[in-house]
Structure 1
Amino acid sequence: MNFDLQSILAALALVGVGVGLSIYQRVKLEKDILIGTVRTFVQLIAIGYALNIIFDLDHILLILLTVMVMVVIGGYTAGRRADLFFSGFSISTLSIGLGTFSTLGFMLLLGIINIDPKYVIPLGGMMVGNSMNASALALERLDSEVRGKRALVEQRLALGATCSLAIEDSFRKTVKAAMIPILNVMKVIGLVQLPGAMTGMILAGASPLSAVIIQIIVMYMLVSSVTISAVLTTVLARSRYFTKDHQIVEVAI
């Protein structure tokens, strides 16, 4: 297989199919598709050159800084995705960061992966991306739950329940909703979907069995980071809807 600039231009024709369908069906997504196409090219080319420099320097602080930048960008993206009365940036950033770094730290401590940019940065990026989606879903779902069940929540609070007990069922539903994407992937992985890490290794010439082993490890890491991020996001966001006296914040409704 030959991957070069000509290959990219050939693949670009496939984007034209999406643009054509959007115009034909009057969906009005052609602008978003074109902007996304340009951003994909520019951002990936830029990160490619940046990673070349980082890989050559191979310094632990630079590696950690790169992952931290990913976490901050992921937190910003997740925080602004939901229309909330409070800023979700700090909540998402903390949740994504803890989920990512705790999982990476555990694997580094066991010696399963090394402090090497070619391992830490790609794995960190995958965990940040999945945790970002989970955090965004958690923020949106919890807000919807609290707003939709205001009367029930207030009734429970009036009967003496704490804020945690008042939205206990909403808490569970929120975490479950945030976990749906990663759980769905786990159900069909290897059957209808070959994940990115495994596909990349096979394209690079690795044996399928070696690629499978690494992909299993990656999936378990993703489950860990996503679960931590989803739960922590929900816990931290929950407190924003209530006062210290266990009353609903009026602006939240």
Structure 2
Amino acid sequence: MLTGYYQVLVALILIAVAVVLSLWQRARLEKDLLVATVRAFVQLVAIGYALEFIFDLNHPLLILLTIVIMMTVGAHTAAGRVKEVPSAFGIALLSISLGTFLTIGLMLLTRIISTEPKYVIPLAGMTIGNCMNAATLGLERIHAEIVGKKEKIEAILALGASSRQASLESCRVSVRGAMTPIVNIMKVIGLVQLPGAMTGMILAGASPVDAVRIQIVVVYMLASAVGIASLSATRLSLRSYFTKFHQLQEAQ
């Protein structure tokens, strides 16, 4: 399958269909669709040339810098979606970092993946994206839990419980909510959808069996990373809701 810029331009017909549907339904998404289309094109072309440069150079520090930049952007995006959570950027960055470095590091140490940038950076990108979503969902849910169950939490604290004990149920609900998307994907993988890594390998000419083996490793890696990121985000955020004397602070 050979795709040049001509084929990419022809694919704009699909965007035109989406714009027409928006106009028809008066959804007022035309401007957003056009801006998103241009941004996607520019960003992907730019990252394509940047990755080609990084792959050719193959320097560990440059690989690490690329991953750190990706994590920072992911944390900024997550924080922008949970502005009501204090210190959201720092919490998201630490959660994403833990989920990414622990899983990618383990895969490198066990030699499941090579240290070459063409393997490390794409896998890190997938991990960071999933950790970002997990951290966002976890922070959104823990905030809603703390605000919605304020009276119950204060009653538990009044009985002598610590802030950790009083928020235990809320943390469990938050982690469960943050991990639900990846669990659902794992349940239907290969039946309802062919995931990205597997599809990419097959389109590139790899054997479907080889692609399946790689995809299994990837999905297990993502499940682990999401678990780490969601738990880290919910636990770290508790400091923003409780004082050092285990008193519940006002949350908006």
Assess same fold via TM > 0.5.
yes
TM range (shorter): over 0.9
**1:137-168 Cα distance to aligned partner (Å, 9 max, x none):** 11111111111111111111111111111121
Q: Is the 8 A contact 1:83 1:140 kept in 2?
A: no
Q: Which residue is 1:155 aligned to?
A: 155
Superposition RMSD on alpha carbons, in Å? 0.9
Q: Which residue is 2:49 aligned to?
A: 49
Compute the displacement of 1:28 (Å).
1.5
Q: Which residue is 1:8 aligned to?
A: 8
Q: Which residue is 1:73 aligned to?
A: 73
Aligned-residue identity in percent? 57
Q: Which residue is 1:167 aligned to?
A: 167
- TM-score (normalised: structure 2): 0.98
Compute the displacement of 1:131 (Å).
0.5
- Counterpart of 2:3 in 1: which secondary structure? coil
- Counterpart of 2:218 in 1: which secondary structure? helix
**Number of residue pairs aligned between Structure 1 and Structure 2:** 252
Alignment of 1:54-133 (within 5 A): 54-133=54-133
Q: Which residue is 1:208 aligned to?
A: 208
Alignment of 1:220-235 (within 5 A): 220-235=220-235
- Counterpart of 1:248 in 2: which secondary structure? coil
Q: Is the 8 A contact 2:100 2:225 kept in 1?
A: yes
* C-alpha distance in 1 between matches for 2:28 and 2:79: 26
Greater displacement, 21-30 / 204-213: 21-30
Compute the displacement of 1:2 (Å).
2.8
1:109 partner amino acid: L
Q: Is the 8 A contact 2:85 2:139 kept in 1?
A: no
1:6 partner amino acid: Y
* C-alpha distance in 2 between matches for 1:208 and 1:85: 44
**1:113-153 Cα distance to aligned partner (Å, 9 max, x none):** 11100000000000000000000011111111111111111
Q: Which residue is 2:20 aligned to?
A: 20
Greater displacement, 103-112 / 79-88: 79-88
Segments of 4+ moved more than 2 angstroms = none
Q: 1:50 to 1:115 in 2, by over 3 A?
A: same
Compute the displacement of 1:85 (Å).
4.6
User: Is 1:29 the equivalent of 2:19?
Assistant: no
Q: 1:85 to 1:181 in 2, by over 3 A?
A: closer
* C-alpha distance in 2 between matches for 1:150 and 1:201: 49
Structure 1: give runs of 5+ residues left out of the alignment: none
Structure 2: give runs of 5+ residues left out of the alignment: none
1:15 partner amino acid: I
**1:2-52 Cα distance to aligned partner (Å, 9 max, x none):** 311111111111011111111111111222211111111011001001001
2:44 partner amino acid: L
Q: Is the 8 A contact 1:80 1:87 kept in 2?
A: no
- TM-score (normalised: structure 1): 0.97
1:63 partner amino acid: I
